[in-house]
Amino acid sequence: MKPRSLEETLKCSFCHKSQDRVAKLIGASRRYPPAYICDECVNACNSILQQDALRRDSNNKTEGWFHRVKSWWKYGIIEAALFKLK
């Protein structure tokens, strides 16, 4: 592998935008192969992770509610409450 010259333009490994077209380009520290990610790709990744977290939290709340009601039924709490209403 030939050494990189100082004049060589670095590019984001994801969107391939050059360092001149983005606000920030972050590089891996001395690892082969060299990898870079720009601030725009980082923002896109953060957005995807936040959406995943919201979806996961939403699913957990739904599952948590279902399991809570199921356990109330299992231990007779709902039956006892219904019996008191009669």
- Residue 22 is predicted with a pLDDT of 96
Asked, for residue 43, whether it belongs to a domain, the answer is yes
Residue 50 CA, chain-centre distance (Å), reads: 5
E strand map for 1-86: 25-27, 36-38
Work out how many domains the chain is built from and give that number.
1
Q: Is residue 19's pLDDT more than 90?
A: yes
Stated as kind and residue range, the H or E segment containing 79 is helix 77-85
In angstroms, what CA-CA distances link 38 with 56, 64, 67? 27, 38, 43
Domain hosting 67: range is 25-85
Tell me: the pLDDT tens digits for 53-74? 888 877 666 666 666 666 666 6
- Residue 52 is predicted with a pLDDT of 86
Enter the pTM of the model.
Answer: 0.59
Asked, for residue 5, whether it belongs to a domain, the answer is no
Q: Which residue has the tokens 């380009």?
A: 25
Read off the pLDDT band of 12 (50, 70, 90): very high
Asked, for residue 18, whether it belongs to a domain, the answer is no
Asked, for residue 1, whether it belongs to a domain, the answer is no
Asked, for residue 60, whether it belongs to a domain, the answer is yes
Asked, for residue 12, whether it belongs to a domain, the answer is no
